[in-house]
Chains A and B, each alone.
Chain A
Amino acid sequence: MTSNSPSEKRLEELREQAWKDGVVPGKGVDVAGGPIPRQPGYYGQPVVKPPVWTWEIPLYFFVGGTGGMSAVIASAAFSFHHLNLARAALWLAAAGAILSPILLIMDLGRPRLFINMLRVFKPQSAMSMGVWILVLFSTCAVPGLIALELLALHLFTGAMDQLLNIAAGILTFGSAFFGTLLATYTGVLIGATAIPAWFLHRVLLPIHFGTAGLGSAAALLELLGHRISALNFLGFYAAGVESALLIWLSIDKHGAADRAIHEHGSGWLIRIAEILTGPLALVLRFFSFVPFAAISFLLGALVSRIGWIAVGKVSGSDPESVFAAERY
């Protein structure tokens, strides 16, 4: 045994000190100086719970937003007698109306009990309002599509045709009304929670989700072959708004409270999505690369929904962000 090695000397020192003072101060017994870094809050435990939602929810945000805003385009096209475009748009809306509930039910912890969503009507719960918006949207979009398709087949004449036209009109406008709400309420849904990075941006989120839905609907219709200037205008509009939101998000920073938007993997998702839906889509469209602009926007809109859920998971697990957010 080499008693003059540094580690042995250190132990001798500690023994002497313990004998003399009865206590050994310093880093040797100090947890804070040890290899485990001290964490914020209570051992770095999350203060609020991060969302338990899995991939179905961001996909639902995308599908619901695109479907809802497709109904808006359908009703505008119907108003100006673009019957073919209205049909195509309402097909997208109806697809969204069918896919959305499936995705929502898949995400439930107990899918068999999904019908309990319809037990109550609760204005103070964005989830409850969203469910009712979705139900009413589906109730309008699917029969609306049937009416529109029957109208296009010219099966009837006279009064019956008139009646069908009116029914198609009412149902299309109904689906447009509930469709815009379907695309925007999701921002309220995550904005009115205890997750700091979400509630700090509760005004931005509905604008972003709604506009991303409108742009996606226009982009998808363009990719389906409806290359008309009205859709191009909507593409410009959506990409322009998204570019403005990019600037808003980069100015409206809240330090540690919403760092999940600017740091980590979640921050990268948001950044990539912003560029794809905003400046890149705008530039591509400006130089008339319309299909590329459409693809860029659609991709960005999907990545953005995934990004915002990821932001919620990061922000909800971060105790410092909760403490920091409570200053606002």
Chain B
Amino acid sequence: MIGEGIQSTNQRKHSYVQDRVEVGFFTDPSVCIGCKACEVACKEWNQVPDDGFTWSGNSYDNTGHLGASTWRHVMFLEQDRQKGNQITGPMGLTEAEDPFRWVFLSDVCKHCEEAGCLEACPTGSIVRTEVGSVLVQNDVCNGCGYCVVSCPFGVIDRRPEPLPDAGGAFKCTFCYDRQKSGLVPACAKVCPTESIVFGRLDDLRVRGAERVRQLQQSGYNDAQLYDPTETSVRGIHAFFLILGEPEAYGLPPKPQVPTIYLKSAWISAFATAIASLIAALAAFAFFS
């Protein structure tokens, strides 16, 4: 399955947009080599502006976090029993415990089944495409910033001055422009180890489950899929295999789409509105 080369879904022409097939990314850190080709390909193809060079001191990661000008981000996790906040697996070593583990994971917009940004957008700029991805229409976005606080994964952000196209909200487009032409997203296309796999969502889910089984058989007991189907997000279209706990990757263990909070908040708002009207009427009825 791994290493299908030009036979793989990453290199084939497709007609998913025309056929309205749900597609996704499956990102597998167990084969990632941390080359950052996905970051570079994403920036080049999408012409995402340079947002500065800073040395973070955090392993080989000077990118930091996904944002308005970072749509792919390779994480570098350094874990061991003493260092990390978690107990790591034996990594295939039978006798000695693995003293150290380095994990690379290419993070990306999750393209949620119930997307907080899409629900929050007051202009209708953010839409769901034929392939089930979540797309920001740059020419419609007026930069209100409400999607920024509505994303449970902290993916989307407003691009600051003086970068080109500043003021609008940006995130991964799932290379919708490429997909319309039957091309594979840039990051998946360049991934040399197929750590990023692009394809039909149902196929990828099977492939992900199979890969977890494989890894667990090889002794990676803490391998699991990160796909919050049990929460109000109801699953993500770009899902991940992770080793260890999601917190170490900065991924929320139980992300919720903020629309679930609307009901109680609106009830409170209406109750306050009615109470204020009554208070004002009572004030003039009884005290004047």
Contacts and interface: CB of A to CB of B under 8 A. Distances in A.
A110 B122 contact: no
Interface in A186-200: 187-195, 198-199
- The range of chain B's interface size is 35 or more
A110 B142 contact: yes
Given A48-B151, A116-B123, A116-B142, A230 B284 contact: yes
- The range of chain A's interface size is 35 or more
A246 interface: no
B2 interface: no
B148 A52 contact: yes
B288 A228 contact: yes
A122 B116 CA distance: 13
A203 B264 contact: yes
Q: Dominant SS at the B interface? A: mixed
B152 interface: yes
B53 interface: no
A15 interface: no
B276 A231 contact: no
Contact of B119 (A53, A69, A124, A231): A124
Contacts of B285: 80
B142 A117 contact: yes
A187 B265 CA distance: 7
Given A114-B142, A131-B122, A210 B269 contact: yes
A119 B61 CA distance: 41
Interface string B85-97: 1000000000000
B158 A109 contact: yes
B149 A316 contact: yes
Interface stretch (B13-21, B25-33, B164-172, B180-188): B164-172
Interface string A170-204: 00000010001101110111111111001100111
B121 A109 contact: no
Given A42-B248, A72-B277, A234-B280, A194 B144 contact: no
Interface string A108-121: 11111110110110
B280 A47 contact: no
Interface in A57-105: 69, 72-73, 75-77, 79-80, 82
Interface in B128-158: 140-146, 148-158
A194 B156 contact: no
Interface stretch (B35-43, B76-84, B193-201, B214-222): B76-84
A116 B262 CA distance: 23
B34 interface: no
Interface stretch (A29-37, A251-259, A279-287, A293-301): A29-37
A262 interface: no
A134 B191 CA distance: 49
B283 interface: yes
A211 to B, nearest CB: 7
B261 A202 contact: yes
A253 B270 CA distance: 24
23 contacts: A38-B85, A47-B153, A47-B154, A47-B250, A52-B148, A72-B280, A79-B281, A80-B284, A113-B141, A116-B142, A119-B123, A120-B123, A124-B119, A126-B265, A188-B266, A190-B149, A193-B150, A194-B154, A202-B268, A206-B265, A207-B271, A228-B287, A326-B252
Given A117-B123, A237-B279, 12 more contacts: A42-B249, A73-B280, A122-B122, A127-B121, A185-B269, A187-B268, A189-B146, A191-B261, A202-B264, A205-B268, A206-B265, A210-B273
Interface of A: 30-32, 36, 38, 40-43, 45-53, 69, 72-73, 75-77, 79-80, 82, 107-114, 116-117, 119-120, 122, 124-128, 130-131, 176, 180-181, 183-185, 187-195, 198-199, 202-207, 210-211, 213-214, 228-234, 237, 312, 316, 319, 322-323, 326
